[in-house]
Amino acid sequence: MRRFVGTIAPQGVTSYAEEEARNVWQQGNSLFMRNWPYAYALGQAEGSPIRGKFGVTVLPKGGADAQNAATLGGWQLMVSAYSRYPKEAVDLVKYLTSYEVQKDNAVRLSRLPTRPALYTDRDVLAKNPWFRDLLPVFQNAVSRPSDVAGARYNQVSEAIWTEVHSALTGRKKGEQAVRDLEARIRRILR
């Protein structure tokens, strides 16, 4: 992927945060972008230079027999054991996770629903046709490294991004970055 930097991706891409990447892409100055679903709604917004000119797909997979992978994560809703109003808090969580509210969030904000039926809902697909391809991805999703790394998740995450950055900026060959990443993660998880 290093060859993409400065060719089909801007030179500064290796230091972009999500919104910087989205802004470059939304102005039509980047071939592709990896981001979260909210970017679809912004790209299709009235006045967006790329409105109607892009598509969405799943992340690439390795090899013919591999599956596309996605990570589970997101915005969990929970009620504290110390809540002064536990019944009301539970009612709010039920409301926010209801079919109707998730449908509204999917249509207006391109937020991914947790209810499988919404991935085939006519109104949702009218605004987000790419949702049609996502249900199998979620059904095969894997836990973020936090599931394995636990309290060391931040250390593992930092190791991943620094080694990927080293490979993308040419400070290391890709193979060396992968070897170094494996060694770092093994040390962290000891």
156 in the same domain as 129: no
Considering the domain architecture, whether residues 76 and 134 belong to the same structural domain is answered as: yes
Question: For residue 155, is pLDDT > 90?
Answer: yes
- pLDDT above 90: residue 187: yes
151 shares a domain with 190:
yes
Range of the domain at 184: 144-190
Residue 175 lies in a domain: yes
* Same domain? 149 vs 108: no
Q: How confident is the model at residue 125, as a pLDDT?
A: 97
Asked if residue 150 has pLDDT above 80, the reply is yes
- Assess whether 137 and 184 both reside in one domain: no
Give percent above pLDDT 70 in the chain. 99
SS3 of 128-167: CHHHHHHHHHHHCCEECCHHHHHHHHHHHHHHHHHHHHHH
Cβ pair 97, 105 in contact under 8 A = no
The DSSP secondary structure of 59-95, one letter per residue, reads: PP-SSTT-----EE--------TT-S-HHHHHHHHHH
47-54 LR contacts (CB < 8 Å, sep 24+) = 50/25, 50/26, 53/28
pLDDT for 5: 83
User: Left if phi > 0, otherwise alpha if psi is -120 to 50, otherwise beta: which for 98?
Assistant: beta
75 plus 137 within the same structural domain: yes
Strand partners, 142: 71
pLDDT band at 93 (very low <50, low <70, confident <90, very high): very high
Reported in sequence order, the residue ranges of 49-179 that DSSP labels E, i.e. its strands, are 71-72, 142-143
Rounded mean pLDDT, 6-26: 89
* Average pLDDT over the chain, rounded to an integer: 90
130 shares a domain with 77: yes
**What is the average per-residue pLDDT within 115-133?**
94
Tell me, yes or no, if the pTM score tops 0.85. no
Encode pLDDT of 29-74 as tens digits: 888 888 888 899 999 999 999 999 999 888 777 778 877 777 776 6
Q: Could you give the 3-state DSSP secondary structure of residue 145?
A: coil
Q: What is the pLDDT, as a whole number, of residue 103?
A: 98
Q: What is the pLDDT of residue 135?
A: 86
Output the pLDDT for position 68. Answer: 72
Only one residue has tokens 């509210």, namely 101
Residue 12: what pLDDT?
Answer: 87
